[in-house]
Amino acid sequence: MSNHKIYVPNTNWDLIKIGPQLLHLQKSIKAWSPDIEKINFKGLKFSPPLLAVYYASLIQESTIKINFEGLSGYLETLKFPYGLLPDDTNNWKNTLNAFSSKTYLPIIKFSNKTTKEETILREMLLSHALKIIGSITQIPSNYYSAINYLLSELTDNIVEHSRHDFGYFSFQYYRENGLMDICIADKGIGLLGSYQKYEGERDFSQISNHLLAVDSAIKGNSTKPIPEKRGYGIATSRRMLIEGLGGHFVYLTGNALLINEEMSNFGEYFQGTIALIRIPVKSFSKDFNWYKFVE
Amino acid sequence: MNNVATISFQWLDSLKGRNTIKSAFNQPFSSEDRLLVDFAGVKFISRAAAHELLSQVDKLAKKGVESSFINLNEELDKMFDLVENSIGKEKQASFRFVKWLEFENESKYQKYLLQF
């Protein structure tokens, strides 16, 4: 008889909506305990980017080995849980190209290292992923550039602030609903950690919890060694997404959850950051000008 | 005659991160140098990357190195203009609004989340 403690994710909700995804995440974090040795994914036939990235990072970055079983064909195609980890060959391009006819991409694990080689590889990888997304969703060039902007801001934050080796990227197109999700996450120090570890001339000592950290980042208080008060680009990204693209912006770090302009105490703690951008891609406005939202 | 150094981004069609620019500029320039930054093939530059590039060029200018941008498309040109014009300006407060919500109990919070 096995004494292994097994966690089985509950999937009774409609996981296309953002709220049920967040509740699933909250419940999963709450139920997690260090003595869980295995996750059985038999009930998770589909996983939206938010949850795919969460479980992938949980399995990969836990200090103890977590086994898993019951992966559906969908999760296996997502390369769940290890993701696509590109090397310096071009095989990753062929792998991504094979997803052009699907409605999703595999989970991508990108390096946050700042050597020239790793930087170029990350740029090429994310650009190529975006090209495939453009081809899947058939978005026009003004929307493509806006998404490029959002992707740049969010991944750059991870590279510059997470103090962690890797970030995660996941994409899903809900064709029937005319929506797409992109999720970008890391298991690094989070926004609060970024303020706490700051060693420059500015005084961030008053930023003592995750909610204050998010608020402060949006207000433009940056730990970047640059003179302008611009913050993490979260505010600009958020406005472009909500007002320009009619989408939703979800940002979770620690126990701080920001949904569009509203912040709440998530009640559970996520180590690192998760950003989910949801974009309606059913109809497009040719008048949408993404530059209007760049500060 | 001045030495002319060139930075090109031939492998990339978009410049997203600050580090992409930092690593490209991570080379010695002497005061005799003139720098050409070649954007051939680059279709997109992020605000962060544009800001970093202008900062690097500014640093070099202080050392007497003159820079020129070549093969710049309209989209890139617009972003550089936008960054140059925004430096030092007050940012729009409406961009930075956050509404802090509190909930009496878990069930109300659940109801709130389920509206999205």
CATH number at residue A264: 3.30.565.10
In angstroms, the CA B19 to CA A136 distance is: 29
Quick check: A200 and A225 in contact, CB under 8 A? yes
pLDDT at A1: 45
Confidence tier at A199 by pLDDT (50, 70, 90) = confident
Number of domains in chain B: 1
| B93 reaches A (C-beta below 8 A) | no
In angstroms, the CA A140 to CA A137 distance is: 9
Cα separations in angstroms, B23 against B20, B26, B108: 5, 5, 49
Six token digits for residue A83: 């993701």
| B114 reaches A (C-beta below 8 A) | yes
Task: Return left, alpha or beta for B14; rule: phi > 0 is left, psi -120 to 50 is alpha, else beta.
Answer: beta
Identify which of A207, A237, A211, A240 has the alpha carbon closest to the alpha carbon of residue A222: A207
Residue position matching structure tokens 């703690």: A269
- How distant is the Cα of A274 from the closest Cα of chain B, in angstroms? 16
Q: Give A7-32 pLDDT, tens digit per residue.
A: 988 776 788 999 999 999 999 999 99
**A159 domain residue, yes or no:** yes
Q: Nearest 5°: phi and psi at A113? A: -65, 150
Domain span holding position A190: 81-293
Q: Give A124-168 pLDDT, tens digit per residue.
A: 999 999 999 999 999 999 999 999 999 999 998 898 888 899 999
**A281 domain residue, yes or no:** yes
pLDDT higher for A223 or B102? B102
Six token digits for residue B48: 């962060």
pLDDT at B21: 94
Six token digits for residue A203: 């005084």
**A70 domain residue, yes or no:** no
Q: What percentage of chain A carries pLDDT values higher than 90?
A: 66
Q: Tell whether the model's pLDDT for residue A173 goes beyond 60.
A: yes
The domain that holds B21 is classified in CATH as 3.30.750.24
Residue position matching structure tokens 């003179």: A227
Q: In this complex, how many residue pairs, one in chain A and one in chain B, have their CB atoms less than 8 Å apart?
A: 137
In angstroms, the CA A239 to CA A293 distance is: 7
pLDDT at A200: 81
In angstroms, the CA A276 to CA A184 distance is: 7
Across the interface, which of B17, B82, B116 has its CB nearest the CB of A17? Answer: B116
pLDDT at A11: 72
Six token digits for residue A259: 């949904």
Chain A interface test: which of B85, B94, B98, B102 (most A C-beta within 10 Å)? B98
pLDDT at B89: 65
**B26 domain residue, yes or no:** yes
Contact across the interface for B87 and A228, Cβ inside 8 Å: yes
**A5 domain residue, yes or no:** no
Q: Which residue does chain A place closest to B79, by CA atoms?
A: A291
pLDDT at B36: 93
Across the interface, which of B13, B20, B113 has its CB nearest the CB of A119? Answer: B20
The total of other beta-carbon atoms located within 10 Å of residue A117's CB is 11
pLDDT at A41: 93
pLDDT at A101: 94
- How distant is the Cα of A125 from the closest Cα of chain B, in angstroms? 10
Percent helix, strand and coil across chain A, each to the nearest 5: 40, 20, 40
Confidence tier at A174 by pLDDT (50, 70, 90) = very high
Q: Give A239-292 pLDDT, tens digit per residue.
A: 999 999 999 999 999 999 999 999 999 999 999 999 999 999 988 888 899 888
In angstroms, the CA B106 to CA A65 distance is: 32
Q: Which residues of chain B have pLDDT under 50?
A: none
Number of domains in chain A: 1
Contact across the interface for A22 and B116, Cβ inside 8 Å: yes
**B46 domain residue, yes or no:** yes
pTM exceeds 0.80 for this model:
yes
| B95 reaches A (C-beta below 8 A) | yes
Average pLDDT over residues A66-91: 89
Greatest Cα-to-Cα distance within chain A, rounded to the nearest angstrom: 65
**B98 domain residue, yes or no:** no
Six token digits for residue A178: 């005319």
| B88 reaches A (C-beta below 8 A) | yes
**A43 domain residue, yes or no:** no
* 3-class state of residue A57 by DSSP: helix
pLDDT at A227: 58
In angstroms, the CA A90 to CA A71 distance is: 28
Identify which of B83, B18, B54, B52 has the alpha carbon closest to the alpha carbon of residue A159: B18
Contact across the interface for A114 and B97, Cβ inside 8 Å: no
In angstroms, the CA A169 to CA A84 distance is: 10
Contact across the interface for A20 and B114, Cβ inside 8 Å: yes
Domain span holding position B14: 4-90
